């Protein structure tokens, strides 16, 4: 508990977590809805009270800054969260402290790290030490949707950092991220043998619940509902997909398509898309959402593919595999892969800060998760999850150890000071 300090950091985190900031449809002049806007206002107000210079990018996002100089270091965080989903044993938007943990949606992804970075900046500002640069924390409001219109607005209107990090992944450091591809597979309802189907909260979450009604060969209706276990879509092995559980028991043409091309796998093997490379490992494919309208059944796939492959090749392989079932494939979005030189002076400087605090010489890694490191040049993902810790982002009862949050803050303070 050596890093825990008597200050308002946890109280400020509780206030931020209490805002249900799920990014959604525009509401008037609020491009991502009221929740993310309230979270942005909360953080800008907090930073202003702490003595930072603040700025707003219309209602798309905002930033807060300390220091002086021509060089600009960026810390990219996001204030939006995924929906709470089922299975919580505590109130997801109440930041509950139990023992040595703090629970709540966003405490690790990404509100907790955002508050830790703010307090790291505050310590440096209060110290009076000249930094020789400006340090700007940039508050995104729509990271979890995958569209990143917030970052598009920032890049079009504001000064870009020369380098920086996003505290939205793992320690010691992520120097490469797989490509992300969002595909929508759709089958005509009339050909599906489905009456209704609904499951999953977001494409980048393992579906925690699914309900469906299907027709058997005699035209009789049968209802199924199954609960699985939510997890981040980039690590589907940590969850249990409720869509797959329902399809495994269901009959009919859509179920046949699903079970023969996806089934209980997440490695692309049934989709003729089992791809891998030495630098970044294996592809992962997560069927995150199923839904229907009057004409179509839709299945959303969240795909994380190795850096040596392309979006076009992945899409082609999957299209060729599913077309014989009468299924169409549409590209809903994607993000380029990230690959930086892990031996660069900047990355080695961040690693040195981590190693000084932890005495851990672990090497930097590649991951399938997608962070704001993809949004700008010379940005890497840096914490807050320490090696060996349980990954709870996008899961019910999301939590972070309180000591880990303060330790991450100390690492960020040292990294910012020395960068």
At 29-42, the pLDDT tens digits run 999 999 999 999 99
Q: How far apart are the first and last CA of the chain?
A: 26
Predicted confidence band of residue 336 (pLDDT cuts 50, 70, 90): confident
pLDDT at 334 (0 to 100): 87
- 242, containing H or E segment: helix 242-249
- Say which range, 56-65, 100-109, 189-198, 365-374, has the weakest mean pLDDT: 365-374
The Cα–Cα gap between 43 and 140 comes to: 11
Phi, psi of 125 (to 5 degrees): -65, -40
The whole model's pTM is what?
Answer: 0.79
Region 43-47: mean pLDDT is 98
pLDDT at 54 (0 to 100): 98
Q: What is the mean pLDDT of the chain?
A: 95
Q: Report pLDDT digits (tens) over 223-282.
A: 999 999 999 899 999 999 999 999 999 999 999 999 999 999 999 999 999 999 988 899
Contact assessment for residue 360 and residue 352, using Cβ atoms and an 8 Å cutoff:
no
Phi, psi of 353 (to 5 degrees): -65, -45
pLDDT at 288 (0 to 100): 96
User: Is 80 noted as a catalytic residue in this protein?
Assistant: yes
Predicted confidence band of residue 146 (pLDDT cuts 50, 70, 90): confident
Per-residue pLDDT at 356 exceeds 90: yes
Task: Give me the helices (H) in 345-401, please.
Answer: 345-358
Catalytic residue among 143, 302, 311, 335: 143
The percent of residues above 70 in pLDDT, for the chain, comes to: 100
User: What Rg, from alpha-carbon coordinates, does the chain have?
Assistant: 22
Contact assessment for residue 306 and residue 180, using Cβ atoms and an 8 Å cutoff:
no
Region 368-396: mean pLDDT is 92
Region 7-32: mean pLDDT is 96
Region 371-398: mean pLDDT is 93
Q: How many helices (H) and strands (E) does the chain have?
A: 9, 23
Region 369-380: mean pLDDT is 90
pLDDT at 222 (0 to 100): 96
Could you give the 3-state DSSP secondary structure of residue 401?
strand
Per-residue pLDDT at 15 exceeds 80: yes
- 98, containing H or E segment: strand 96-98
Per-residue pLDDT at 172 exceeds 60: yes
User: Is 123 noted as a catalytic residue in this protein?
Assistant: no
pLDDT at 225 (0 to 100): 97
pLDDT at 338 (0 to 100): 84
Region 202-211: mean pLDDT is 94
Per-residue pLDDT at 315 exceeds 70: yes
Per-residue pLDDT at 1 exceeds 80: no
Omega into 105 within 30° of 0, i.e. cis?
no
pLDDT at 85 (0 to 100): 87
The Cα–Cα gap between 87 and 63 comes to: 34
Catalytic residue among 12, 20, 65, 80: 80
| Torsion from C-alpha of 241, 246, 249, 255, nearest 10 degrees | -100
Region 136-165: mean pLDDT is 95
């Amino acid at each position: 508990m050596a890093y825990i300090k008597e200050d308002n950091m946890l109280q400020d985190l509780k206030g931020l977590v209490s805002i249900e900031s799920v990014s959604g449809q525009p509401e008037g002049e609020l491009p991502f809805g009221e929740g993310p806007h309230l979270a942005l206002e909360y953080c800008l107000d907090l930073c202003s009270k702490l003595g930072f210079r603040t700025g707003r990018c219309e209602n798309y996002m905002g930033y807060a800054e300390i220091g002086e100089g021509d060089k600009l270091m960026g810390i990219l965080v996001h204030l939006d969260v995924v929906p709470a989903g089922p299975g919580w044993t505590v109130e997801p938007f109440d930041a509950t402290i139990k023992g040595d943990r703090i629970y709540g949606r966003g405490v690790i992804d990404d509100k907790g790290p955002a508050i830790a970075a703010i307090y790291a900046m505050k310590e440096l500002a209060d110290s009076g030490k000249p930094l020789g640069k400006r340090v700007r924390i940039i508050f995104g409001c729509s990271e979890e949707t995958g569209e990143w219109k917030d970052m598009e607005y920032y890049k079009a209107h504001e000064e870009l950092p020369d380098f920086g990090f996003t505290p939205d992944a793992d320690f010691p450091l992520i120097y490469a991220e797989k490509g992300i591809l969002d595909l929508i597979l759709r089958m005509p309802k009339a050909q599906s043998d489905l009456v209704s189907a609904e499951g999953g909260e977001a494409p980048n979450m393992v579906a925690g619940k699914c309900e469906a009604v299907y027709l058997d060969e005699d035209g009789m209706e049968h209802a199924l509902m199954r609960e699985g276990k939510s997890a981040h879509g980039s690590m589907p092995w940590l969850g249990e997909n409720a869509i797959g559980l329902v399809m495994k028991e269901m009959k009919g043409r859509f179920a046949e398509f699903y079970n023969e091309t996806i089934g209980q796998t997440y490695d692309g093997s049934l989709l003729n898309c089992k791809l891998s490379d030495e630098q970044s490992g294996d592809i992962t494919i997560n069927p995150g959402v199923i839904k229907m309208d009057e004409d179509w059944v839709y299945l959303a796939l969240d795909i994380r593919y190795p850096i040596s492959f392309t979006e076009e090749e992945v899409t082609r392989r999957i299209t060729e595999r599913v077309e014989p079932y009468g299924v169409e494939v549409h590209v809903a979005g994607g993000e380029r892969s990230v690959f930086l030189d892990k031996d660069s002076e900047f990355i080695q400087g961040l690693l040195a800060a981590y190693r000084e605090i932890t005495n851990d010489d672990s090497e930097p890694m590649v991951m399938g998760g997608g962070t704001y490191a993809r949004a700008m040049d010379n940005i890497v993902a840096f914490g807050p999850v320490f090696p060996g810790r349980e990954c709870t982002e996008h899961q019910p009862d999301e939590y972070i150890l309180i000591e880990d949050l303060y330790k991450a803050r100390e690492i960020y303070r040292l990294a910012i000071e020395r960068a």
